[in-house]
Structure 1
C-alpha cells in the first residue's frame, strides 16, 4: 500500500518525475517554442524602443492626431457593434430555421477575410460609383475617404468579435431562465431586458472590449476604403506604417503604444478571476 500523502501534495505520473497538469513532458518543448514566437518579437520591440525620446515622439502633432482619431473612431465603431451585434447574436443563438447556419457563416466572414478585401468590398458598396454610393452622393453624402469610412471599416472587421462572444454566451446560458420568466407572464422585451442581457453581460462586455481592440488596430480595410489623411482618416496603425519609412524610431514608439493598449485589453478580458 502507498503511504498517505501530505496535505496539499499531488501524486506525480512517475516517481521523481513531477507532472504538469497530467501532461506528457514533451508537450513543454513546442509550448515553449510557441511562447517564444510571441514573446521574443515583443521583447525585441521593447529593446529597440528609443525610451529617452519616447515622450517627444508620442506627442508630435501627427501622433496625437492619429491617436485621438483612433480612439474616437474605435469608440464609435464599438457602439455600433453593440447596437447591431446584440440583435444579431440573439437571432443567431435563438433561431431554429435552417438558414441560420448560412447567416452565421456570412456574419463571421470578416474574421477570415483579408482586411484589404473588406476595404474593397466597402468601397464597392459605398464608394462614389458603388452600389449604394451613387445614391448617397446624389443626396450629398460622401462616405468613402472620410472619417465615416474609417468607422464603417472598423465596424466591418470588429462586429464579428462581439457576435461570436455573445452568441457563445447565449448558447451556454440556455433558455431555461427565459422560459420561466415567460411562463410567469413577462413580455419578450421584459425577458430580454431583465433576464437575458444580465445573464450574458460578461460575454457582452468581453465582446465589446475585443471589438474596441480590433477596431483600434484596424489597418487594411481603413487604408483601402478611407485613405490616409491626417486628422481625418489617418489612424494610429496608418501613422505607424507611414513613420516606418521616414522615422523608424517614431514607428517603434507608436507600436509600443498600440502594444500597451492591447495588453490592457487582454488583461480586461482575460484577467478576471474565475468565479
Structure 2
C-alpha cells in the first residue's frame, strides 16, 4: 500500500530511518563540535594544526576507509566497541546506532568548520565587557559567546544533518545494508538499482534526497549571510 507520495513501506522505512539517524548523529556530535571548534578558534598550543587536520581528515579520506576504521574500533571485537557493549550496553556493529556514529564522524568536520568561523567572528570586546562586570568565563561563554555564535552553530548542525542524510560509504562498510535497521536513503537507492523494476523507487528516493539536501544548503547559506552581515557591522 502506497501513500500520497507514492512511497512503499520499504521506502518509507528508509526515509524515517535516515531522519532518525541524522537527527541523533547531529545531536550527539554537537557538544563535541562546539568544544573542538572553540579549541581551534581560541586555542594556541603545539599540535593545533595536527588537531585541525585530524578533524577534517574524514572529508578527504575515502569514506570506505573511515568505515573500516570504525569497524576495527567500534565493531564487536574492537576495543571501543567492546567497552561500550560491556559497560554501557550500546552495540554499534550492524545496528542503527553504528550508522549514526558513522554519519556523525563524516559530518563532524562540516559542523566544526561552521561553528569555528562563527566563534572567530564574535567580538571579543563584548566578552571582555561581561567579564569586567564580574561574570565568570563559563557564564560569559554561555550568555555572550554562544548566543552570538548561534547562526554558525545552526549552520553547522544543518550541514552535518545533510551530510548524515547522504552518507553511504562509511555506513555500508561499518554496519552493512540491513532493511529496517541500517538501510538509509543512499543504501536503499543502491539496493533498488540492483533489482529489476526498482528504478522508480530509486527515483522517488533520489528526489526526496535532493529536496532535503537543497533545503539544508539554502538554510546554511542564509545563516552564512547573516554571519557576514554581522561581521560587516562589527
| TM-score normalized with structure 1 length | 0.76
Deviations 1:136-157 (A, max 9, x none): 4545643211111011001010
From 94, 118, 133, give the equivalent of 2:66: 118
1:99 corresponds to = 47
Structure 1 residue aligned with 2:98: 149
1:222-258 CA distance string (max 9 Å, x none): 1011111111110111000010121112111111110
What is the alpha-carbon distance in structure 1 between the residues aligned to residue 152 and residue 85 of structure 2? 39
Q: Which structure dedicates a bigger proportion of its chain to helix? A: 2
Q: Which has the larger radius of gyration?
A: 1
Distance in 1 of aligned mates of 2:40 and 2:184? 32
Deviations 1:170-203 (A, max 9, x none): 1122522212211221101110111101111111
Where do residues 164-243 of structure 1 align in structure 2 (5 Å cutoff)? 164-243=113-192
In structure 2, C-alpha distance between the alignment counterparts of 1:137 and 1:197, rounded to whole Å: 34
Where 2:121 maps in the other structure, the secondary structure is helix
Gaps of 5+ in 2: 230-234
**Any stretches of 5+ residues in structure 1 without a counterpart?**
1-53
Q: 3-state SS of the aligned residue for 1:200?
A: helix
| TM superposition shift of 1:98 | 2.1
Aligned to 2:220: 269
| Residue correspondences, number | 222
Supply the distance in 2 between the matched residues of 1:101 and 1:107 (Cα, whole angstroms). 10
Contact 2:106–2:163 (CA under 8 A) maintained in structure 1 = yes
Cα distance in 2 for residues equivalent to 1:141 and 1:206: 29
